[in-house]
Amino acid sequence: MKLEFLRKICRGMVPGLKTTVVSNDLLDTIINSIVSDVTQRGRCLKTDTLFTVTSGTDTYAITSVASDFLSMDSPGLWWYDGSQWQQLDPVTLKYLDDNYPNWRDDASGDPQRYAIDSNIITVHPTPGTTLASGFKLYHIQAPVDMSSITHYPFSGTTTEYPFLKIFDWAIIHGVIWKLKAIMNKSLNEYNKDEDFYEKALEKASLEFDRRLDISAVAKLGME
């Protein structure tokens, strides 16, 4: 659904929402923020990014290696050992401290695990070789903000992703929820609209994750 129609529906569903109260610029900001929330929680834009393994370097800034990163996806981080891809184990820095007390001084070698702290990916052991496109990061891609009434959610352009139309009403309910706070509505009404948003997002997410081609195959035991 184009930004133009998202605006109209949201204004139509919130009585008194005039442009003198909430400008189109502010409304667009709220809509784009909800699209981002839907993208992350609905796992809408799955992607992967290749980046260079650098010998002797165990930390990598996410914003440098994947500028469109929003959040991690379940496959995590993979490393190419020269002949095949290997999935690294996701851990925390505390886990490394507790289980590998000297990990910061360990000899370099083939990475086996990784930790993410804020914007930094730390791999252990430290890579002992440099390899272009040697890491593959699976993540959720950040949506591009809409800046024109002809733009569609997620792409932020005049290109629509038809497979994501299922999230249109989740976006609308999320925007209405946030608008109620600006309109100084009662806490009860605000909470009710939050609940509408959560249910709409959950319903769309469940439908989005369905694989009818897999569930229809009896031999997979998923029918």
- CA dist 67 to 28, 50, 60, 136, 144, Å? 23, 12, 12, 14, 12
Residue 205 is predicted with a pLDDT of: 94
SS (H, E, C) 145-156: CCCCCCCCCCCC
What tens-digit pLDDT sequence spans the chain (223 residues)? Answer: 999 999 999 999 988 888 888 999 999 999 999 999 999 999 999 999 999 999 999 999 999 999 999 999 999 999 998 899 999 999 999 999 999 999 999 999 999 999 999 999 999 999 999 999 999 999 999 999 999 999 999 999 999 999 999 999 999 999 999 998 888 777 788 889 999 999 999 999 999 988 777 667 655 554 4
Residue 220 is predicted with a pLDDT of: 53
Which residues, including other chains, have CB under 8 Å from residue 179's CB and lie 6 or more apart? 10, 14, 17, 22, 27, 30
| Six-digit token string for 216 | 């229809």
Q: Which residues of 46-82 are buried (b: 16+ CB within 10 A; e: fewer)?
A: eeebebebbeeebebebeeebeebbebbeebbbbbee
Domain ranges for the chain, please list them: 3-44+145-218, 46-141
d(CA 30, CA 35): 9
The phi, psi pair for 117, rounded to 5°, reads: -135, 110
Residue 222 is predicted with a pLDDT of: 45
| Six-digit token string for 197 | 């948003």
Instruction: Kindly report the number of other CB atoms within 10 A of residue 213's CB atom.
Output: 7
